[in-house]
Amino acid sequence: MMVLTCADVIGGMFGYPILGSEEIVGLMAAAVLAFALPATQIENAHVGVDLLVRHLPQKIKYINDKIILFACFIFFLLVAWQCYLYADKLREVGQVSSTLKLPTYLLIYGVAFSCLILALVILAEFLAPKKEITNE
């Protein structure tokens, strides 16, 4: 993405911009973001704010974590389903990107698949047995 953007800027300075570069970078950014979500969840690399939760007893933290994991599972399952339905509609009407005429439904199907994988990763965490409490 960076190389494409730089090439477009340099080419534009000489009167030869790259046709559809903004479109390609936008689609690539959406794809990278969507496919990074499950890996980030597996690595437990999401940013979290625990100003209140860190002062709770371990048992309450555990229950809180399970409730949040279940809510996230349901949320991303619904997002995957809705993205799939939206991609189907885009495919049916033949929606394409404005400059390069790329079929946008393929990206949305990818986002739906990624959200489904994320939901399954979250479900696996939800169903995992309780870890031993350590003093970190």
Q: Examine residue 134 and state whether it is found in any structural domain, yes or no.
A: no
Number of domain units in the chain: 1
| Exposure of 59 in the CB half-sphere (CA atoms within 13 A) | 0
List own/partner pairs for 70-76 with CB under 8 A and 24 or more apart.
70/126, 72/119, 72/122, 73/119, 73/122, 73/123, 73/126, 76/115, 76/116, 76/118, 76/119, 76/122
Domain-located, residue 132 = no
Torsion of CA 77, 82, 83, 88, to 10 degrees: 130
Query: Structural domain of residue 13, as residue ranges?
Result: 2-45+53-127
Inside any domain, residue 136: no
Task: Please state the pTM of the whole predicted model.
Answer: 0.85
83 occurs within a structural domain:
yes
Residue type, 59: K
- Per-residue tens of pLDDT for the chain, all 136 residues: 999 999 989 999 999 999 999 999 999 999 999 999 999 999 988 887 788 888 889 899 899 999 999 999 999 999 999 999 999 999 999 999 999 999 999 999 999 999 999 999 999 999 998 876 554 4
- Give a yes or no: residue 11 inside a domain: yes
